[in-house]
Amino acid sequence: MDLRFRDAEPSDEERAAVDALLGPPATAWEGGLRTDEDLRVAAAAESRRDLLLPALHAVNDRVGWISEGALDYICRRLTVPPAEAYGVATFYSLFSVTPRPARVLHVCTDLVCQAKGAAGLCASLEERLGPPGSSWQHSPCLGLCERAPAALALQAGDPPSSAVHGPVTGPDLVAAELAATPETGPADVSETPGSAEPPAEAAVPQAGDPGLVLLRRIGVVDPGDLDDYRANGGYAALRRAFEIGPAAIIREVLDSGLVGRGGAAFPTGRKWEATARQPDHPHYLVCNADESEPGTFKDRVIMEGDPFALVEAMTIAGYATGCHKGYLYIRGEYPRAIRRLTHAIETARSRGLLGADVMGQGYAFDIELRRGAGAYICGEETAIFNSIEGQRGEPRSKPPFPVEKGLFGKPTVVNNVETLVNVLPILLGGAPAYAAIGTGSSTGTKLFCLSGNVRRPGIYELPFGATLRDLLTLAGGVPEGRTLRAVLLGGAAGAFVRPDELDIPLTFEGTRAAGTTLGSGVVLVLDDGADLVKILLRIAEFFRDESCGQCVPCRVGTVRQEEALIRLSKRPDSGDLALLREVGRAMRDASICGLGQTAWNAVESAIDRLGVFSPASPSTFPSTEAK
């Protein structure tokens, strides 16, 4: 590839950050110092495009933003055209291509935090630090919803650091930011008493309950200690996997009835079988830990509280489907989960549980952790491939499906974190025992992300078949003196249900029959104090922000949807309601991927099921009343 560069030079710091990732440049062709030798040999540069995202992270982590000189240097090192690298850098919201302070506070203004007072945080910050955009900015859901309202500070440096706040008040957040509170460093792979961030089990109200399956080790094992994990049943499932072999593992997973927990509810066994059968090699495994659906934080709790379980489960999935390499794609806003998983992967590797000869069984498997950089869309199963490959995180057109042509064009199995950890109890207890839990078509247990106006928010594990009422009761219901207004199931891409619909069974078939969805397990509870119109505006803003921009119905449709909702929030208008419906239908019918296809779901259900904007419920026009 013949690349042309402008003459921007990297600073020493930027160069050092990139070299720390890639090693020093071998030749002047890659941006090294020119020697006599270089004038005589021409290097056939090979593009290492898939390292683009890690390299952009390296600079952004060290300096806080990506300058033209830094981008050019990355491009020289990786043989990537600068225009394309610029396109990639500007795709992700955690990166900046203009100067900004080393420390940036990301304040969640998404659904749960909004319902819990994010506006107050923003007002305090604006008063002391000025308008958002530089040292602090609005952020979509940070996956800290049980601690809403929440914020995440990311501090560039060597090493970079981070701090989470939540629940927090405006004045406390301002004080903490002005003092740049103690950051959690790389030392917190185990829970440390007195640490600023509560331990993972603080998000699990049922922690320690002997009936738990997926959450049973949370708060019980030390997430930084492999021996503790093994002492608590860890790596027994992998041992059993090696005993029975790949075909029998797939049979077990098929018989268990396990379906994906990432949102699409596809049978996992069938996906594995189809991938294992592909003659083309290599096969890849991708664990989808991008968890960015507003209100979702279950995968974070697993990864922070029981990271070795995910490493073991990925190894089993890789073995069953003929993969020797697994990518763990985790959202960039999860610094503690990233540290703990990095530690778990390294430890497993050093103990022969990953690497050339896993458990001495002659099977080679390794895991590479890849960090996202602020893009909900990268959780879509084909966008994740583009992101890993160093392209813009735009979904691909299907067919071909990932099992045929996925990552690097090869057969790939993509699974959600929760889906994968289910494989451990399936192998340990056997498929029949697993399938006996839950209902006929929704087997096993499910993690629910309870948040909003509920007494005990957090992650709950229940066998499929429990009703929404059971779940709300377990979580203590709405706070004293309040009444339930609505529940948002499935997140921004989900649908609202009314207080008279609490007997909906929380199963895939039960929610579908009720015209809603389990999605990623979001159960956002809203009481009579919640402003539903504001929630809808936020949902619309979320999709407008997170659309990749590739296809017209979603790129423009999400903008028109938000505009119409803003107008509707000020005055009733049947024309705008009709407009919303028409735009919504086109987005659902004609968008490339699930983002555009579902961008209208929650708004539609609020209008149809909750009667928001209906002339019969004037209370839904608060601003008209205020005038």
Partner 1 sequence: MTIPLRPPRRLVDITVDGEEVRVAEGTTILDACGDSGPCSGKKDIPTLCYGDTLTPKNACRVCMVEVEGSRTLVPACSRRVEQGMVISTDSERVRHSRKLVLELLGSSTDLSTTPRAEEWMERYGADPARFGPDAATVEQPPKVDNDLYVRDYGKCIMCYKCVDACGEQWQNTFAIAVAGRGFDSHISTEFDAPLTDSACVYCGNCVEVCPTGALSFKTEFDMRAAGTWDESRQTQTTTICAYCGVGCNVTLHVQDNEIVKVTSPHDNPVTHGNLCIKGRFGFQHVQNVPTGQKD
According to CB under 6 A, which one of 596, 601, 610, 621 is a site residue for ligand SF4? 596
Residue 60's binding partner among ligand FES, ligand SF4, partner 1, none (Cβ under 5 to 8 angstroms by kind) is none
Token code pair at residue 483: 């009444």
Taking the C-alpha atoms of residue 8 and residue 69, their distance in angstroms, rounded to an integer, is: 4
Token code pair at residue 24: 């020093």
Q: Is the Cβ of residue 188 or residue 381 nearer to partner 1 in the bound state? A: 381
Q: Angle at the Cα of 275 (from 400 to 551), degrees rounded to 5? A: 25
According to CB under 6 A, which one of 55, 74, 105, 150 is a site residue for ligand FES? 150
Q: Which residue, among 39, 36, 61, 43, has the nearest Cα to 3 in the 3D structure?
A: 43
Residue 111: count other Cβ atoms within 10 Å of its Cβ. Answer: 30
Binding mask 375-404 toward partner 1 (x if CB under 8 A, else -) reads: x----------------x----x-------
Does residue 198 have a cis peptide bond before it, meaning omega lies within 30 degrees of 0? no
Q: Applying CB under 6 A, does 111 fall inside the site for ligand FES?
A: yes
Please report how close the Cβ of residue 81 comes to partner 1 at its closest, in angstroms: 3
Residue 294's binding partner among ligand FES, ligand FMN, partner 1, none (Cβ under 5 to 8 angstroms by kind) is ligand FES
Q: Which residue, among 223, 255, 286, 295, has the nearest Cα to 524 in the 3D structure?
A: 295
Measured between alpha carbons, how far is residue 147 from residues 54, 116, 204, 394, 609 in Å?
30, 10, 12, 31, 29
Please report how close the Cβ of residue 346 comes to ligand FES at its closest, in angstroms: 29
Count of residues making up the chain: 627
Maximum pairwise Cα distance, the chain: 82
Residue list 556-575, contact with partner 1 (CB under 8 A): 556-560, 563, 567
Residue 623: count other Cβ atoms within 10 Å of its Cβ. Answer: 10
Residue 177 near residue 168 (C-beta atoms within 8 A): no
Residue 269's binding partner among ligand SF4, ligand FES, ligand FMN, none (Cβ under 5 to 8 angstroms by kind) is none
According to CB under 6 A, which one of 53, 58, 144, 367 is a site residue for ligand FES? 144
Q: Applying CB under 6 A, does 292 fall inside the site for ligand SF4?
A: no
Phi, psi of 227 (to 5 degrees): -65, -40
Alpha helices, DSSP H, located in 23-117: 36-40, 52-63, 68-78, 82-89, 111-115
Give Cα 323 to chain centroid, integer Å: 23
Q: Applying CB under 8 A, does 547 fall inside the site for partner 1?
A: yes
Q: Which residue, among 560, 564, 562, has the nearest Cα to 574 in the 3D structure?
A: 564
Residue 108's binding partner among ligand FES, ligand FMN, partner 1, none (Cβ under 5 to 8 angstroms by kind) is ligand FES
Q: Applying CB under 6 A, does 301 fall inside the site for ligand FES?
A: no
Please report how close the Cβ of residue 141 comes to ligand SF4 at its closest, in angstroms: 17
Q: Applying CB under 8 A, does 591 fall inside the site for partner 1?
A: yes
Q: Applying CB under 6 A, does 110 fall inside the site for ligand FES?
A: yes
Residue list 392-411, contact with ligand SF4 (CB under 6 A): 395
- Sheet containing strand 136-139, edge to edge, reads 136-139, 103-108, 151-155, 161-165
# residues contacting partner 1 (CB under 8 A): 51
Q: Which residue, among 262, 600, 603, 300, has the nearest Cα to 451 in the 3D structure?
A: 300
# residues contacting ligand SF4 (CB under 6 A): 14
Measured between alpha carbons, how far is residue 578 from residues 497, 574, 575 in Å?
22, 6, 5
DSSP 467: B
Residue list 96-115, contact with partner 1 (CB under 8 A): 97
Token code pair at residue 76: 């020289």
Residue list 492-551, contact with ligand SF4 (CB under 6 A): 547-551
Q: Is the Cβ of residue 56 or residue 518 nearer to ligand FMN in the bound state? A: 518
According to CB under 8 A, which one of 35, 90, 473, 483 is a site residue for partner 1? 90
Binding mask 362-391 toward ligand SF4 (x if CB under 6 A, else -) reads: ---------------x--------------
Taking the C-alpha atoms of residue 485 and residue 344, their distance in angstroms, rounded to an integer, is: 43
Given the rule CB under 6 A, which residues bind ligand FES? 108, 110-113, 141-145, 148, 150, 294-295
Given the rule CB under 8 A, which residues bind partner 1? 1-4, 6, 68, 71-72, 81-87, 90-91, 93, 97, 375, 392, 397, 544-553, 555-560, 563, 567, 579, 582-583, 585-586, 588-592, 597
Given the rule CB under 6 A, which residues bind ligand SF4? 377, 395, 547-551, 554-555, 591-593, 595-596
